[in-house]
Structure 1
Amino acid sequence: MIAKFCQERGLKHQTRHVQAIWLNGKYETYRLHCFSDAASAEVFLDHFEGLMFDPRRDRENGKVRGVWRRTGEYAPVLDLGPLSVPEILRS
């Protein structure tokens, strides 16, 4: 679904992963869809929703393999635009 969406709109992106860790110790692996320009990222966000991630700002000291130290309270992401986690996998 994501690949087709990007291909139809000529959006070139790379997929990366980051470990997000909250203050209470909860953690999740997030899949990042990285775009070379803000306009492409906005088109993607308008359709799929999600969070904006800036590796220089959000990774530990800008490290390539640094984790994403999250603030606030942990809440699982179950629905993002047209995507959702199947009921059987929600716990």
Structure 2
Amino acid sequence: MIAKFCQDRGLTFHLRSVQATWPDGKYENYRVHCFSDDAAARVFRDHFDGVKFDPKRDRENGNVKGVWRRTGEYRQILEMGPLSVPEILRN
């Protein structure tokens, strides 16, 4: 679904993964779709209800192996736009 959405709009991206951690110690691995310009990323986020990730700001000052230090309270993401986690994989 993601590949078709991007192909139909001429968007190209790279996939990366990052571990997000919250102040209470909870963590989750994220698959991050990286776009070369903010306009393309905005189109993607608007459709899939994504969260903006800036590796230079959010990944321990740009450390390639750094974690994404999130703020606030952890909330498990079960649905993002048209995507959802199957019931069998939910906690």
Q: Report the TM-score when normalising by structure 1.
A: 0.96
> Is the Cα–Cα contact under 8 Å of residues 6 and 12 in structure 2 kept in the other structure?
yes
Aligned match of 2:2: 2
2-structure distance, mates of 1:45, 1:70: 18
Partner of 1:42: 42
Give, in angstroms, the shift of residue 12 of structure 1: 0.7
How far did 1:50 drift?
1.4
2: CA distance, partners of 1:50 / 1:42: 9
> Is 2:44–2:50's contact at 8 Å kept on the other side of the alignment?
no
* Count of residue correspondences: 91
Task: Give the letter aligned to residue 88 of structure 2.
Answer: I
1:45-81, CA deviations, whole angstroms, 9 ceiling, x for partnerless residues? 1111110000000001210111001111111000000
**TM-score, normalised on structure 2?**
0.96
- SS in structure 1 of the partner of residue 61 of structure 2: helix
Q: Take 1:57 and 1:77, find their aligned partners in 2: how far apart are those partners? A: 22
Aligned to 1:64: 64
RMSD: 0.7
Q: 2:62 is aligned with what amino acid?
A: G
Question: What is the CA–CA distance in structure 2 between the aligned matches of 1:45 and 1:22, rounded to whole Å?
Answer: 22
Which AA in structure 2 matches 1:22?
A: W
Q: 1 CA distance for matches of 2:42 and 2:70? A: 22
Partner amino acid, structure 2, of 1:34: C
Distance in 1, matches of 2:67 and 2:46, equals: 26
